[in-house]
Amino acid sequence: MLKVMLLSMTLVLTLPSYAHTTQVLNGYWQYDEYLDANPEEKVLTQALADAVRRQAVPISAKQSTPLSISVVYPGQQVSDYWVRNIKALEARLTELGINYEIKQVFTRPNLDVRQQSLSLLEAIQNKADYLIFTLDTTRHRKFIENVLSSSDTKLILQNITTPVRAWGDQKPFMYVGFDHVKGTRLLEDYYKKRIPTGSRYSVLYFSEGYVSDARGDTFIEEMSHHDSYKLSSSFYTTATKESGFNAAIKAVEKDPEISFIYACSTDVALGAAEALKELNREDIIVNGWGGGSAELDALAKGDLDVTAMRMNDDTGVAMAEAIKWDLEGKETPNVYSGDFELVLKTDSHFKIDKLKQRAFRYSD
């Protein structure tokens, strides 16, 4: 049954609609809301955050066999988030003295569906102790629900920090990432301070799915509140640099008077910046999203204006620490979000170097 389900993941299914609200994505707990509603989780999440910031304390439990970890990531992007994440996970597991074997498969976001399906199936058939995956599309959700109901493999969902309400107590081992709404709010605040009210703008989404809803729709709702900023256009992309380039060209052609382009991911932002340069429209502001190496290089060159920079390695460290706690028989938190910092193209080399040291402390 699982094999049939996996190999039919290309079927179009119906996602629950998401409210255009910064308060709650329909069908999901917002990160802070979930912690406020579950005080015991808030305590555990804070304890994990403290452990992430401290030096590693080796595991106290004995292992009879190596831990098996399978990773299936949309890592074939210009963004280095996913690659750095695994480096940080492995480095911290080693520091913790955990004996493990890891198998990783990187695919392209919103593409390579069959390869992704086969890799996920293999992880379950091999009875991996932990499977690290993501939740962005309907295909992902259907697979996850099957794993939660029919497998002993513990599921870590990366790049999502908002628990699915419908799953109730049948939940994954952990949601981990950098809360998309928190990062979006940093960029909202920047644009509101920088751009006059009444200005027009365009949104370049990621591919259709949860990330676009959480980063894009929440931004639009907040910026359009009381009609203070005018959404001129919005475009879904295929989450590639080329699609970001093409969408930015269309946005400017549709409305040459836009003041800024809000990009929902690294690859899309870099494509948009390239398009604006080709159009000689570098007066139009464009943001990055995530603050990886490629974005920081683009900021240094002046190609991007601003980004919400993730303290990248925090999530790899958090997963390693949660696995350690699990092996020691301790309670683990269900959610964890790493920290952000707003970075501008005008920031000093000293400031950015300090942020790099913090963000990439394991992966550099």
What is the C-alpha to C-alpha distance for residues 54 and 67, in angstroms, rounded to an integer?
23
- Asked whether residue 254 carries a pLDDT value surpassing 90, the answer given is yes
Residue 148 banded pLDDT, cuts 50, 70, 90? confident
pLDDT digits (tens, 9 = 90+) for 173-208: 999 999 999 999 999 999 999 999 999 999 999 988
Residue 107 banded pLDDT, cuts 50, 70, 90? low
Quote the pLDDT of residue 212: 93
pLDDT digits (tens, 9 = 90+) for 21-58: 444 378 999 999 999 999 999 999 999 999 999 999 99
The per-residue b/e assignment along 81-96, b for 16 or more CB within 10 angstroms, e otherwise, is bbbbbbbbbbbbbeeb
Segment 133-156 mean pLDDT: 83
pLDDT digits (tens, 9 = 90+) for 58-90: 999 999 999 999 988 764 557 788 889 999 999
Quote the pLDDT of residue 130: 95
Quote the pLDDT of residue 8: 33
Percent of the chain clearing pLDDT 90 (strictly above): 72
Q: What is the DSSP letter of 203?
A: E
- Asked whether residue 134 carries a pLDDT value surpassing 60, the answer given is yes
What is the C-alpha to C-alpha distance for residues 179 and 183, in angstroms, rounded to an integer?
7
Quote the pLDDT of residue 119: 67
Q: 225 CB contacts (<8 Å, ≥6 apart)? A: none
Q: 357 CB contacts (<8 Å, ≥6 apart)? A: none
Quote the pLDDT of residue 147: 82
Show the tokens assigned to 351: 């400031």
Segment 154-181 mean pLDDT: 94
What is the C-alpha to C-alpha distance for residues 96 and 219, in angstroms, rounded to an integer?
39
- Asked whether residue 109 carries a pLDDT value surpassing 60, the answer given is no
The per-residue b/e assignment along 129-140, b for 16 or more CB within 10 angstroms, e otherwise, is bbbbbbbbbbbb
Q: What is the mean pLDDT of the chain?
A: 88
Residue 174 main-chain phi, psi, to 5 deg? -165, 140
Segment 152-174 mean pLDDT: 93
Percent of the chain clearing pLDDT 70 (strictly above): 88
Strand partners, 230: 200
User: Which residue is associated with the tokens 């295929």?
Assistant: 238
Q: 109 CB contacts (<8 Å, ≥6 apart)? A: 74, 76, 77, 136, 206, 207, 238, 239
Closest CA to 162 of 214, 217, 222: 214
Segment 311-318 mean pLDDT: 97
Segment 147-155 mean pLDDT: 86
- Asked whether residue 1 carries a pLDDT value surpassing 70, the answer given is no
pTM, two decimal places: 0.87
Quote the pLDDT of residue 113: 61
pLDDT digits (tens, 9 = 90+) for 255-294: 999 999 999 999 999 999 999 999 999 999 999 999 999 9
Residue 121 banded pLDDT, cuts 50, 70, 90? confident
- Asked whether residue 19 carries a pLDDT value surpassing 60, the answer given is no
Q: 323 CB contacts (<8 Å, ≥6 apart)? A: 67, 69, 93, 98, 130
pLDDT digits (tens, 9 = 90+) for 3-18: 333 333 332 222 333 3
What does the chain come to in residues? 364
Quote the pLDDT of residue 150: 78
